[in-house]
Chains A and B, each alone.
Chain A
Amino acid sequence: MLAIETINLTKDYSVGFWRKRPKRVLDGLSIEVKAGEIFGLLGPNGAGKSTTLKIFLRLIFPTLGTARILGKELDDISAHEQIGFLPENPYFYDNLTAEEFLNYAGELFGLPVAERQRRTARLLQQVGLEGARNVQVRKFSKGMVQRLGIGQALINDPELVFLDEPMSGLDPLGRREVRDLILSLKEKGKTVFFSTHILSDAEMLCDRVAILNRGRMQGCGELKEMLALGIASTEIVVVSPQQNLLDELKACGGACVRTGERVRVAIPKESEVSTALNKILQAGVEVVSVNPVKMSLEDYFMEQVGKDSVKRHEEELIAQTKGGR
């Protein structure tokens, strides 16, 4: 079963105060998310990630195209029974406590009182807020607010969880906890769909990702596939090699970089690695490390989105503000 299916999802916002003109923020997005996977929506700021999530949650309506969430049309709110949502930079009612808010959220799902109390207590503990259960939200730090946001997204034990920038505002420990939480959701068979512009998070968590830039999908697929399945090169670090050895290594296609006594040699072909290592050992040179180097998501991202895309985006913004005056 598909958890999410979108066909040509498109959204235009009208911009400009006096003369309204449409600006396409999401352009023909078609993705499929399978039940039980962790799916990452990646892209720089302003790529259309939040727009996509808001369409899924009926906070905005698509200009073109359709989407089905858990097999239901967007207009069918019963899908929301099985959905959890953490908005970007969540904000809560100042004067309600964490416990009251979770309880309120439970009420909106029609949960019976006892069940609400049980889940509230469990979630507060799970997101590390049990000590602050009776504190009004306005006294919360940004990290605590983010935790409460995650808690309320899980109150209905959802099948599908949408997280918009779940790591933002969290300290390293908090990020780790959220990562563990997302993985534990996957273990329970839930589907997690999250957006982020932090690639390392996606790399660690996602089964599949889609990359968005300026409203268009640049690529979509399994992370391993996208990262060219494996090793991009092998890096050997040696201490004080002789010059003739380096020349020989270069003949194997290696690139050498010297840092003090040490020299880093990158061998692109796997088949050449053993030849190179044999030569080094024969020369009696000390080997510090041998490392396979994977293509990182960042490399891929840069390749797809292009180095200048962020710059172009900024230029476009400047042009718009000038035109708008």
Chain B
Amino acid sequence: MRAMNRVAAIALHTFKEAVRDKVLYNLVVFALLLIGAAILFSSISVGIQQIIVVDLGLSSISVFGLIMAIFIGIGLVSKEIERHTIYHILSKPVRRVEFIVGKYLGLVLTLAINTAIMTVGFYLAIYYQKRSLGAEDLAPLSAIYFILLQLAIVVGLAIFFSCISTPVLSAVFTFCVYIIGHFLSEMRWLGTTLHSRVAKGATEVLYYLLPNLSDFDFITRTAHGEKISASLMVSNSLYALLYVTVLISASILIFEEREFK
């Protein structure tokens, strides 16, 4: 139980440290501005006003969420190692596992709250445009939930890379995997067209090894009023949970052996 309290303390202070960062403020403000601008864009287009607000609003949440996830994910773990603040924590009766788990939970909490703020902005934009909000407007929530799952994986990646690399390289690696994660099904398809069996096998392995982030992209479908099936909600949640567990376990394995010179 003491261990849980320590994890909670680490998570909470990670959150505190993150939300006071000026860069984070600016990102949230900018995202809200962009969501507001969606109203402007939609007013000059004909026929697809609603679609544009949803498209642009959700894309803003996704893009700024990504920037935040990488920014705070790297900033708060890699920098902690680089600047030696971690000495203070590990010299207290804290297991290294607790540090990693606490950090992760704190970062996800930060992202969840920021996403919530952006979501409120998003619904204000929709309300401004439609002058009403109905049950049918709940559909984007599931897309936002998927964005959040995606960000949870990205933060896991950021922590994982922070355990093995410098802050700048961690950011680069995380971003690269994010990009590749969106092209995995294409890459796999490409693999099936190749003649080399090795290449085919390699693309197949990568398909299951890397995070398949495009499975979480439902912005456009949501904009067209499509609903996400309950079973997909369950399997995607499960996928994110499992993948994050993999990343955190791997991080712990590395972190347990890591020496802070």
Contact = CB atoms under 8 A, between A and B. Distances in A.
State if A and B touch, Cβ cutoff 8 Å: yes
Interface in A73-101: 77-78, 80-81, 83, 85, 87, 89-96, 100
Nearest to B88: A152
Interface in B1-20: 2, 5-6, 9-10, 13, 16-17, 20
B91 interface: yes
A90 B261 CA distance: 14
Interface residues on B, range: 20 to 34
B83 interface: yes
Interface residues of A, number: 33
B259 A108 contact: no
A110 B90 contact: no
Interface stretch (B92-100, B195-203, B205-213): B92-100
Contacts of A13: 261
Contact of B20 (A59, A109, A136, A156): A136
Contacts of B85: 91-93
B9 A107 contact: yes
Interface string B171-190: 00000000000000000000
B90 A58 contact: yes
Interface in A137-170: 152, 156, 162
Given A95-B16, A107-B6, A108-B6, A60 B259 contact: yes
Contact of A95 (B5, B6, B21, B87): B21
Nearest to A149: B88
Contacts of B2: 110
A85 B16 CA distance: 24
11 contacts: A13-B261, A54-B261, A80-B94, A81-B93, A90-B84, A90-B87, A90-B88, A91-B83, A108-B94, A110-B5, A136-B20
Give the 5 A-B residue pairs with the shortest CB-CB distance, closest first. Answer: A95-B20, A85-B91, A107-B9, A80-B93, A60-B259
